[in-house]
Amino acid sequence: MIPTLLGVLILLPILGFLANGSIAFFGKRAEGDGATTARHPLVTLIGPGVILAAFGVAVALFLDMQRAPEQALHIVRYGQWMPVGNLVIDWSLQLDQLSILMVLVITGVGSLIHLFSIGYMRDDASYARYFAYLNLFVAFMLVLVLGASYPVLFVGWEGVGLASYLLIGFWFSDKANAEAGKKAFVVNRVGDFGFLVAMFLIWVTTQKLDFIGAHAALGAMAGTPVVLAIALFLFIGCAGKSAQLPLYIWLPDAMAGPTPVSALIHAATMVTAGVYLVARAAPIFSGAPEASLVITAVGALTALFAATIALRQWDIKKVLAYSTVSQLGYMFVGVGSGAYTAGVFHLVTHAFFKALLFLGAGSVIHAMHHAYHHTHRDEDPQDLRNMGGLAKYMPATAVAMTLATLAIAGIPPLAGFFSKDEILASVFARAHGSPLASASLLGIPGSTVLYGAYAVGVLTALLTAIYMTRMLLLAFYGSNRTGEAEQEMLHEAPTIMTAPVLVLGALTVVGGWLNLPALIPLGPVGLLEHWLEPVVGSSASRLAGAGHLDHRTETILVAVAITVAVVGIVIALLRYRKPIADKAHSPVDESVLARAYHVDGLVDAIIVRPISAFANIVLTRGVETGIDRAFSAGGSMLSRTAALVGSKLQDGDVGKYAWLLAAGALALLAALTLS
């Protein structure tokens, strides 16, 4: 039963991709303006349909697992992939508590986003191609979270990178979009290098690449330098895929793709693959406390760094992009400090409210775009300075966005509060008395790192509250800056787009119930913790050690968190109350934050230009001169020289011939005598 269901689960999006891809490839090309002929009813049926069906299958699998929790772990082998010597890699999928959770998130949030896309991409000429790529992405993402071994996971890993590239550069006729796609792919590659090295190390050390076998072997080697190396290289891979410092630079650029893509790939699912990997490889990371400290530190720094940039972004999607980077940092703080459940919990709640935020932004952009299109004004529909007071025109979206903003800021009892608070509490708890605290990172004691991470986390929470409220205020409240003529066209998005947003809103409200802390008795405690216990429990307790929070400390921490959130919101309310000018009348924001610390410029100058120059030299001097000339001209030069020498020899002078004859005969005889 389970093997078939698993197979069906993976097959559904693949079939969707093939079907939509065929329609995209072979179907009638839409006309120039692509107004109404673009949408193909079959695509609308298949595209979201397969994902909804996959969600249904996932629910069925989940219920099946619930019925018999002791036998929840299933490893299904679908065939042999690479038998090479004593390395045998199979196509195996592993169904356990962690992977089914990820599958539910992917297919659930994914199907909502697919439904949203029906409305958003209605007028796009490449409608079928869009759904084909989206299905492809879901297929690979499922392979990633369901893979039973590192190579299979890597197939999914690379596949989602490919899908991301295809979707970021979806409107590739604009060169900037294609460049953004390339950037994402190349930066990901850097991370993939780390992943591959880690895989090689795992193989060399344990001769196993499947999760169960490799983790058992590596768990026994905890504390050795090899495990530390593997953990660090795996983290490099995670940093690339999940946009941590310094490999985050592709995520803001990835906003060039359609907004539902940003919601699905760059908020809810693909970027969380790194967090999933750390949770999956928990036995490795828990056996390398220094690596875990590195992850915590990097996560904290990334969270703070991105939050500061988001304070001065004017493009609504860029604000959300940097917010995603920041929240991912939180997740890594969680899984880095051994609180795997907390990190995954934040992953789930973040999927809910970030997807909501992106989809809501999509509705807004959709409406703004229509408005400007109607009045033939060439203004930026994504700039916050051109928005304002949209709550009047889009009430449902505004309510949902407000809820999401409060959630991400960390206001109880919304989902974000519980997950963020749990991460911070876990870090604080482990800062005293755990193996992490006793370890040291480059001479800094672990407890310092963890307390520091906590402090940074709190500061970032403050900043998050500020910039998210700012975004909300500038977009939805206050006076409208779009223009008199456009206001007629501003209206709520069609139901197909608003409904998923509202569903996500509901999830944002109740999502916290997935893992209530013992402190706040609102319902069943720690559901997620219990669910994930068989997978990450032992690793988590290994790193937690004796770190434990007493009741009083925990209450103080919660109070701090809530206070910080409220303070942040108030600051933003006070700061952004005054009306501002629209984009056309505003000066160009040249501040360091608005320019994201000029990181892109630095990367270009330090890395891209030298490599380009070097490649140019290799190409012109090396290949063109060396190889091309050597082969084409060189060949002819050789013949010409030979011919010249030959013609000098054959000038008709018989005397010379006689000389050559004599010399030749002499040489032969000499060879004879001397041999």
Partner 1 sequence: MNGFYEFQFYLFSLLAIASALLFVTRKNPVPAALWLVNVMFALAGLYVMLDAPFVGVIQVLVYAGAIMVVFVFVVMLLNLGRSGISDIRSLGSRLGAGAVGLALLANLLVVQRQRIPRVALAPEIDNVVEGVAASLFTDYLVAFELTSLVLLVAIIGAVLLAKKRVRL
Partner 2 sequence: MISEALIVSAILFVIGVVGVLTRRNAIILFMCAELMLNAVNLSFVALAKMHNVTGHVFVVMVMTIAAAEAAVGLAILISVYRHFGTVDLSSLRTLRG
List, in order, residues 6 or more apart from 492 with CB less than 8 Å away. Answer: 363, 367, 393, 394, 395, 396, 397, 498
Q: If binding is defined by CB under 8 A, does position 670 make contact with partner 1?
A: yes
Q: If binding is defined by CB under 8 A, does position 652 make contact with partner 2?
A: yes
Q: What is the C-alpha separation between 465 and 569, in angstroms, rounded?
A: 5
Q: If binding is defined by CB under 8 A, does position 662 make contact with partner 1?
A: yes
Q: If binding is defined by CB under 8 A, does position 654 make contact with partner 2?
A: yes
Q: If binding is defined by CB under 8 A, does position 85 make contact with partner 2?
A: no
Q: If binding is defined by CB under 8 A, does position 642 make contact with partner 2?
A: no
Alpha carbon 38 to chain centroid distance?
30
Select from 20-28, 206-214, 536-544, 646-654 the region that touches partner 2 (CB under 8 A). 646-654
Q: If binding is defined by CB under 8 A, does position 646 make contact with partner 2?
A: yes
Q: What is the C-alpha separation between 403 and 409, in angstroms, rounded?
A: 10
- By a kind-dependent CB cut-off of 5 to 8 A, residue 651 interacts, out of partner 1, partner 2, none, with partner 2
Q: What is the C-alpha separation between 430 and 557, in angstroms, rounded?
A: 14
List, in order, residues 6 or more apart from 314 with CB less than 8 Å away. Answer: 383, 384, 385, 583, 589, 594
- By a kind-dependent CB cut-off of 5 to 8 A, residue 613 interacts, out of partner 2, partner 1, none, with none
Q: If binding is defined by CB under 8 A, does position 669 make contact with partner 1?
A: yes
Q: If binding is defined by CB under 8 A, does position 665 make contact with partner 1?
A: yes
Q: Amino acid identity of 427?
A: V
Give the residue with the Cβ less far from partner 1, 68 or 674. 674
Report CA Rg, the chain: 30
Residue 593, SS3?
A: coil
Q: What is the C-alpha separation between 461 and 568, in angstroms, rounded?
A: 8
Give the residue with the Cβ less far from partner 1, 42 or 666. 666
Within 10 angstroms of residue 554's Cβ, the number of other Cβ atoms is: 19
CB of 648 to partner 1, least distance (A): 18
Alpha carbon 534 to chain centroid distance?
26
- Could you report how far apart the first and last alpha carbons of the chain are, in Å? 83
Select from 71-79, 423-431, 605-613, 654-662 the region that touches partner 2 (CB under 8 A). 654-662
The DSSP output letter for 233 is: H
Peptide bond into 413 cis (omega under 30): yes
Describe the crossing of helices 495-510 and 415-430 by its angle, rounded to 10 degrees. Answer: 40
- By a kind-dependent CB cut-off of 5 to 8 A, residue 649 interacts, out of partner 2, partner 1, none, with partner 2
CB of 657 to partner 1, least distance (A): 14
Tokens encoding 373: 């299109």
Q: If binding is defined by CB under 8 A, does position 602 make contact with partner 1?
A: no
Binder to partner 2 among 641, 650, 667, 668 (CB under 8 A)? Answer: 650
Give the residue with the Cβ less far from partner 1, 510 or 660. 660
Select from 195-203, 392-400, 414-422, 658-666 the region that touches partner 1 (CB under 8 A). 658-666
Q: If binding is defined by CB under 8 A, does position 666 make contact with partner 1?
A: yes
Give the residue with the Cβ less far from partner 1, 79 or 655. 655
Give the residue with the Cβ less far from partner 2, 506 or 662. 662
Binder to partner 1 among 608, 630, 633, 663 (CB under 8 A)? Answer: 663
Select from 179-187, 298-306, 318-326, 651-659 the region that touches partner 2 (CB under 8 A). 651-659
List, in order, residues 6 or more apart from 561 with CB less than 8 Å away. Answer: 410, 417, 420, 421, 424, 458, 461
Binder to partner 2 among 71, 653, 668, 670 (CB under 8 A)? Answer: 653
- By a kind-dependent CB cut-off of 5 to 8 A, residue 63 interacts, out of partner 1, partner 2, none, with none
Give the residue with the Cβ less far from partner 1, 173 or 673. 673
Give the residue with the Cβ less far from partner 2, 591 or 647. 647
Q: What is the C-alpha separation between 334 and 540, in angstroms, rounded?
A: 11
Give the residue with the Cβ less far from partner 2, 615 or 658. 658
Q: If binding is defined by CB under 8 A, does position 654 make contact with partner 1?
A: no
Give the residue with the Cβ less far from partner 1, 559 or 660. 660
Q: If binding is defined by CB under 8 A, does position 651 make contact with partner 2?
A: yes
Tell me phi and psi for residue 593, to 5 degrees. -65, -40
- By a kind-dependent CB cut-off of 5 to 8 A, residue 673 interacts, out of partner 2, partner 1, none, with partner 1
Give the residue with the Cβ less far from partner 1, 614 or 659. 659
Tokens encoding 263: 């919601």
CB of 665 to partner 2, least distance (A): 8
Binder to partner 1 among 41, 443, 587, 655 (CB under 8 A)? Answer: 655
Q: What is the C-alpha separation between 581 and 604, in angstroms, rounded?
A: 33
List, in order, residues 6 or more apart from 49 with CB less than 8 Å away. Answer: 16
Q: What is the C-alpha separation between 458 and 406, in angstroms, rounded?
A: 16
Residues in region 267-296 near partner 2 by CB under 8 A: none
Tokens encoding 190: 């850097």
Within 10 angstroms of residue 504's Cβ, the number of other Cβ atoms is: 31
Number of shown-chain residues binding partner 1 (CB under 8 A): 9
From 320, 354, 476, 362, select the one nearest 119 (Cα to Cα). 362
- By a kind-dependent CB cut-off of 5 to 8 A, residue 644 interacts, out of partner 1, partner 2, none, with none
CA dihedral for 59, 60, 66, 72, sign (positive or negative): negative
CB of 666 to partner 1, least distance (A): 6
Helices assigned H by DSSP within 68-174: 97-120, 127-146, 150-168
Binder to partner 2 among 485, 570, 617, 649 (CB under 8 A)? Answer: 649
Q: If binding is defined by CB under 8 A, does position 655 make contact with partner 2?
A: yes
Q: What is the C-alpha separation between 543 and 430, in angstroms, rounded?
A: 8
Q: What is the C-alpha separation between 266 and 164, in angstroms, rounded?
A: 9
Binder to partner 2 among 506, 559, 633, 658 (CB under 8 A)? Answer: 658
Applying CB under 8 A, the residues found at the interface with partner 2 are 646-647, 649-655, 658-659, 662
Applying CB under 8 A, the residues found at the interface with partner 1 are 655, 662-663, 665-666, 669-670, 672-673
